[in-house]
Amino acid sequence: MNTATKDLLYKMADDAFIIGHRNSEWTGIGPMLEEDLAFSSMAQDKIGHAWALYKILNEQFGEADADVLGFQRKANDFKCCQFVELPIGEYDFSLVRHFLFDHAEYLRYEALSESSFEPLALLAKKIKSEIKYHTMHADTLLRQLANGSEEAKARIQNALNYSWHFALGIFEESSAENELISNKVFIGEDALKSQWIEKVSSIIDAAGLKVPVTENTKIILGGRKGTHSEYLQPLLTEMTEVLASDPNAEW
Amino acid sequence: METNKSLDPRVQRLNIGAQNGEANIETHLVTWEVFHQEKKGKQAVHVGIVHASSPELALVYAKEVYGRRGKTTNLWVVKTSDIFTFTPEDEDVFNTAPEKLYREAGYYKVRDRIEAFQKRNKETA
Amino acid sequence: MYGNAYISPEEAKQMQSQQDDPKQLALFEARVAKGEKVEPGDWMPTDYRKQLIRMIEQHAHSEIVGALPEGTWITRAPNFRRKLALIAKVQDEIGHGQLLYSAAETLGKTREQMLADLLSGKSKYSNVFNYPAKTWADIAVIGFLVDGAAIVNQVINSKGSYGPYCRALERICYEESFHLKQGHDNFVYLATGTPQQRNMLQEALNRWYRPLLHFFGPSDKASQHSEKLMKWRVKLASNDDMRNQFLDQYVPKILELDLTLPDPNLKKNDAGIWEFSDPDWDEFKRVINGDGPCNAERLAVRRYAEEAGRWVRNALMRKEEKYVVPLA
């Protein structure tokens, strides 16, 4: 059981950490001041969620300290999906990734607030309210942009089409999926995926955009097993540059 | 542009070079006046503005601009053009209000009178 | 974060030529002398409005450009604590920009126009942000000392006469106290760390010493425009006084960590005034006029942000809505 729960915590923490890192890159160079602030806060929230999850791994399962888990593991030890690794691109992509990813997060934490694994259930209840704001932000802006100009609408649609099969990779199943479900730790990726498709489809529809067609063979998998895009290793190398310059130091 | 020499890896990744650098000054976003309520039972207080396209987005932005620290229980936003105020030239209509003491609690002092009354009563008793 | 507003001699000369109704002016000056605040709709001297716009706008530009040197290390902060603190800190600079542009907008200049003037070079920002953040230790020096200097300036300016600017500054000062604390924390960790960390910090200090002396601007005690701005409570202390207050507060905090400053003449004299070698004011002028190590990059990045974000802003414009100057 522990292995399955640990695996769940790792992939959630790694997702939050890497997307938080990516989204923090916009801080100071966003499309307008108010948006810059909001996007940065959400990036901070994500990094905070990762920190809290790594702490559970440390405190409940005797894994290394959170800073070690975040900053000193090798790329193939990371269990994040490839979607979160992609560079920030232009704002349309970053916004659409945030929209797709955060709806998955909200539903995941909502389910986990009922988890039989209590430390996670407690954390989920807290995190859920933060992610509610993330989805509120994403939905509001997506709707306004899709109805704001032809250019914006086309950009958002293209970003949706590009992101869709990456986003479906969020729900890549682990080998211990059934164990998590039968022990009521988590409802499982498949159930989550159905909820997510329903939720994001209704918002995409209402915004006057087209829900991309799912082709199962095109879903980008591998992240949960440690297989990553070409972007993760450079991201980690950059992120740990200061730390690596004097590994014995306290920072 | 020499920005590929930037020390900032983020800047190195940006596609800098083609920008002509002219800002669009012809159009503006609508501004919204933001009111912040710290906790239930307290008044909502004006704290500033945000730029946004709709009240919904204004609220979303106000939350981070004015509510990312400390306590907030709610926020209000009102489109700037929907707020009416006295013009500075008319602000003199308020000038004499503080002088109208009969509206102030502190104007009514009866303790002396009561004491004098009691003293008188005692003397005549 | 902020550096002192810089007024070129040409601008100062122009300032003395503005004519206002003497009766209105006398009333205004009497109000300000009593310590009353001025609000957006009030009558104000032409130069008062002009100088405030210029000053608040420069301050706002300094915030959003000031986000860039520290942003240099945003993806490389070495642990959770530092990473979150740095992102939050850089975010605050953008937030301060938002508050300050809003305050300036109440005087009748739109945010878009101010940003256009930044990009065209017509309007300036603090010189200190034209220097690079070469190593992680620069982040500690900026967070502790540049923010420390900014606080000296902003606390003083928050006692000024223009209501919206004072309110923005009060909020900003509150947030700056977090910046200063996290900057000092980072600074102390490096100063008390490994020889390599100390070395990195000392080198960063040496690099920032001069820009920090430049921060408050050249001596302005004698100038006429300064007198007028002081009377109107737009400016509340001379550049020298603010610089001295900064040195007085911060030099001891550097020396207590056995670090040095690269100036053999730096010392407090018997009158309690800090003396230092000439920090090369020609360099200050060169940098402010565009010839600093990072001027080109800073503006290029702001231009990129402006252009890459334009489709977002355009989609959010409501053309049927008339622009109204914000209230307060």
**Confidence at residue C10, expressed as pLDDT on a 0 to 100 scale:** 65
User: What are chain C's partners, defined as 3 or more CB pairs within 8 angstroms?
Assistant: A, B
**Confidence at residue B1, expressed as pLDDT on a 0 to 100 scale:** 43
Specify the amino acid at residue C173.
C
In this prediction, the residues of chain C whose per-residue pLDDT falls under 50 are none
Set of chain B residues whose Cβ sits within 8 Å of the Cβ of A136: 60
Query: How high is the mean pLDDT of chain B?
Result: 89
Taking alpha carbons only, the member of C70, C297, A29 closest to residue B2 is: C297
Q: What is the pLDDT along chain A (251 residues), one digit of tens a residue?
A: 799 999 999 999 999 999 999 999 999 999 999 999 999 999 999 999 999 999 999 999 999 999 999 999 999 999 999 999 999 999 999 999 999 999 999 999 999 999 999 999 999 999 999 999 999 999 999 999 999 999 999 999 999 999 999 999 999 999 899 999 999 999 999 999 999 999 999 999 999 999 999 999 999 999 999 999 999 999 999 999 999 999 889 99
Contact B49 C326 (CB under 8 A): yes
ipTM: 0.97
Measure the CA–CA gap between C2 and C127, rounded to whole angstroms: 10
HSE, side-chain direction, 13 A CA sphere, residue A36? 31
Per-domain residue ranges of chain C:
35-208+294-316
**Confidence at residue C18, expressed as pLDDT on a 0 to 100 scale:** 64
**How would you label C81-103 residue by residue, b for 16+ Cβ within 10 Å and e otherwise?**
bbbbbbbbbbbbbbbbbbbbbbb
Per-domain residue ranges of chain B:
28-124
Set of chain C residues whose Cβ sits within 8 Å of the Cβ of B68: 95
**Confidence at residue C1, expressed as pLDDT on a 0 to 100 scale:** 55
Set of chain B residues whose Cβ sits within 8 Å of the Cβ of C315: 53
* Local structure of C133: helix, strand or coil: coil
Mutate one of C82, C94, C101 to test the A interface: name it (highest A CB count within 10 A). C94
* Nearest chain C residue to B65, by CA: C95
The minimal CB distance from C327 to the residues B22, B27, B33 is found for B33
Q: What is the least distance, in Å, from the CA of A167 to any CA of chain C?
A: 23
pLDDT at B25 over 80: no
State the architecture of A2-245 in CATH terms: Up-down Bundle (1.20)
Q: What share of chain C is helix, strand, coil (3-state, %, to 5)?
A: 65, 0, 35
- Residues 4-33 of chain B whose Cβ lies under 8 A from any Cβ of chain A: 9-10, 13-14, 29
The yes/no answer on whether domain B28-124 falls in CATH 3.90.180.10 is no
pLDDT at B26 over 80: no
Pairing verdict, β B31-37 and B74-79: antiparallel
Beta bridge partners of B45: B36
**Confidence at residue C110, expressed as pLDDT on a 0 to 100 scale:** 94
Q: What is the least distance, in Å, from the CA of A129 to any CA of chain B?
A: 13
Measure the CA–CA gap between A52 and C80, rounded to whole angstroms: 10
The minimal CB distance from B53 to the residues A41, A88, A144 is found for A144
Taking alpha carbons only, the member of C319, C291, C242, C220 closest to residue C7 is: C220
Q: What is the least distance, in Å, from the CA of A138 to any CA of chain B?
A: 10
Q: What is the least distance, in Å, from the CA of A243 to any CA of chain C?
A: 5
Per-domain residue ranges of chain A:
2-245
Q: In whole angstroms, what separates CA C203 from the centre of its chain?
A: 24
**Confidence at residue C227, expressed as pLDDT on a 0 to 100 scale:** 84
- Angle, in degrees to the nearest 10, between helices A150-168 and A118-146: 150
Q: What is the least distance, in Å, from the CA of C115 to any CA of chain B?
A: 7
- Grade residue B2 by pLDDT with cuts at 50, 70 and 90: very low
Give mean pLDDT, residues B71-86. Answer: 96
The CATH superfamily of C35-208+294-316 is Ferritin, core subunit, four-helix bundle (1.20.1260.10)
Set of chain C residues whose Cβ sits within 8 Å of the Cβ of A43: 87
**Confidence at residue A34, expressed as pLDDT on a 0 to 100 scale:** 98
**Confidence at residue C322, expressed as pLDDT on a 0 to 100 scale:** 81
Measure the CA–CA gap between C176 and C143, rounded to whole angstroms: 10
